[in-house]
Amino acid sequence: MAYTEAEARELILSAVCRLVGAGLVARTWGNVSARISEEQFLITPSGLGYDIMTPEDLVLVNISDLSYEGTRKPSSEKGIHADAYRLRPDVNFVIHTHQDKASIYGIRGWDLSGLNSEVLGKRVPCAAYGLSSTEHRRRAVADAVSSNPSSSAVLMRNHGALCLGRDCETAFAAAEELEQACTERVGEVLDEELNMYTQQRALWPMPDYGRSQRVGHRFKLKHGTVTRIYDLKDLPDNLRGPAAVHAAIYLRTSARYIMHVRSEAATAMSVIGKTVYPYLDDLAQIAGPDIRCARLCDDSQLPAAIVRALSGRNAALLEDCGGFCTGKTADDVTAASLLLEKGCEAVLYAKLLGDCRPLNSADARLQRLVYQAKYSRKKEA
C-alpha cells in the first residue's frame, strides 16, 4: 500500500539519516524514494546534503513521464526509481546506495547467488554496466528488476545497489543484509591480501604528513601532536617535510584542505606502487580518472612529485606511504579519502580475482568531467 504524502516525506528523511548512521551512504551518494500513489512517488533532490534536507525539499515525480513538481530537481536517477515502481506493484520504498562491499562485489558483474535470505531471496542479480544517469544504465537496471520479480535488491555493476521494499523497513533491511552478504564474500578474498601488505608495511615506520586547512594565504597544519600556522607568502627557505608538501600543494592547486591518508587498502596500494585505475565510478568522479603514485625521492624533490601526481585529481598515492587527498571543503577531502579507500579495496579484490577490468579510461574521464561541471559547480553555487 502506498504512503500518504506526509508519511512519505517523514519516512524518507528518517531513512537517509538511518542510512548515513549505518554507513550505507555518505554525503549525497545515493537516493531514496517512496510511492505515494500508482502514478507518483517522492524522491530526494539532486545535490542537496542529507544533513540540511527538509521534508519540503523532497520532489514529487510522475512515474509515467518523470515530470515533477516544485523548484528543486529530483535525483538524476529518478528513472530507475520510476521503473522499480512501474515494474513492481508490490514495491513502495526504494533505496539506491553506494555501500562499500556491495559496490566492490558488483565490479565483477556476477549475481550474488547461493543465498537463503527471507529478505533478499536466493539471489541478487547484477545489472550490466552503464554510465551514471544514462538511459543505458536505466534499461540495464530495469531488465534486472523485471527478470527477478522475487528479488529485493539489484547490484549495479561498477556503481552501487538498488534495494526495494514493500515499505521503508523492508527496503532498509535489504540494504543491510546485502552489505553483510557482500562483506562475507569480499572479505574471504580480500582479508588475506590486506594482511600481507599490512605486515610488510609494519616492518618500517610510515611517516605522518598530517592534515591541513588553508584560509587566505595561511594554512594550519596538524602533524602528530603539533599544530603550526604557515604563511604562503613568507615560507622559510629551508622548509622541508610535511609543511613543504602541504605548501607546495596549496601554491599549485585550488585545494583548501589536505589530508594524508594512511588507511589499510590505500597503504597496500602505495606499497604496490602502481597507478590505481578505478573500478567504481564514484572514485573516478570525485577523486580522478586514475590515481597516480608518486615515487619516494629526495626530500627536496618530494613536494613537486606529489603535486605532479595530484595534477587534475583530488587523490594521489605516495610510494609506501598511503595517499594524499585534497578538496575545497572539509567534506570534500573526507569524501575523497573514503572513496580512495573503497576504490583501493576494489582494485585489490579485482587483482585477486583476475577476471574483471577497470572502467574504460574514456568513461572514467567523462564521468570526472561531468561531475566537475555539474555537481561541483552546483555545490559551489
Active site residues: 77
User: What SS3 class is residue 160?
Assistant: strand
Instruction: Give yes or no for a contact between 175 and 99, defined as CB atoms under 8 angstroms apart.
Output: yes
Cα dist. 172→100, 241, 360 in Å? 15, 46, 32
Q: How far apart are CA 347 and CA 341, in angstroms?
A: 10
d(CA 109, CA 114): 16
CB 333 within 8 A of CB 316: no
Cα(42)–Cα(62) distance, integer angstroms: 9
CA atoms within 13 A on the CB side of 281: 25
- Comparing CA positions, the residue from 299, 322, 295, 339 lying closest to residue 104 is 339
Rounded distance, CA 234 to CA 238, Å?
A: 12
Cell matching residue 200: 610488510
Q: Which three cell numbers stand for residue 97?
A: 546506495
Residue-by-residue DSSP string for 114-140: S--BTTTBS-B-EEPP--TTSHHHHHH
Q: How far, in Å, CA of 286 to CA of 21, rounded?
A: 22
- What's the rounded Cα separation, in Å, for the pair 108 and 62? 34
* Sheet containing strand 68-69, strands side by side: 68-69, 59-62, 40-43, 31-35, 93-97, 160-165, 153-156, 126-127
Contact criterion met (CB below 8 Å) for 25 and 16: yes
